[in-house]
Amino acid sequence: MNSVNREKLLLIAAAVAVVVLFGDKFVLGPLLMSWDDRSIRIEELEKKVVRGRALMERESAIRRRWMQMWQSGIPKTKSVSENQVLESVDRWASDSRISFTAIKPNWRESDQGHLMLECRANGYGGLEEIARFIHALESDSLALKVDTLELTRRDDQGSSIGMNVNFSGLLLPEELR
């Protein structure tokens, strides 16, 4: 083979190598990556569709539960709400045999413009009594939740435990019910 043909062959091979490298780097690579990204996105969307269909199938049960939660929420007026919560706290305290030293209700407006009844209660009792009280508070039909709970020992044996609990309930306006 003569040198001119060899040079042409080497130039063609070099050009083909450059075209293949360019094609791989700027065409085939990004194309394969976009296919992978799209397939991942399609999988995520298919999962969301499955979740959405499951929610649609359970819509009536979810709406029924939502209405039950709304109806069991704290009443729509401040004074009635506060009175009902304080009566419930007294009932839970007597059922669980907790002694309270202070209960302070406070009304506050949330970031979304809803009224919240926040209560701070200080009391004492045994660990079992405190657990019964917290369980009664959380599981009652009133829509209340425990925000913070602090326990401290009141004696050297640990049989008397001090409790500071903050709990709150949401009072939504009638148009949102």
Q: Would strands 161-171 and 99-109 be described as parallel, antiparallel, or unpaired? A: unpaired
- Per-residue pLDDT at 175 exceeds 60: no
d(CA 144, CA 117): 9
d(CA 151, CA 11): 83
The H-or-E segment that residue 102 falls in is strand 99-109
- Per-residue pLDDT at 145 exceeds 70: yes
Q: How many residues does the chain have?
A: 177
d(CA 166, CA 41): 44
What is the longest distance spanned by two Cα atoms in the chain? 109
Q: Can you tell me the mean pLDDT for 153-166?
A: 86
Give domain 74-176's CATH superfamily: Ribosomal protein S6/Translation elongation factor EF1B (3.30.70.60)
The pLDDT value recorded for residue 1 is: 65
- Return the percentage of the chain with pLDDT > 70, whole number: 92
The pLDDT value recorded for residue 76 is: 67
| Domain-wise residue ranges, the chain | 3-57, 74-176
- Per-residue pLDDT at 109 exceeds 60: yes
- Per-residue pLDDT at 177 exceeds 50: no
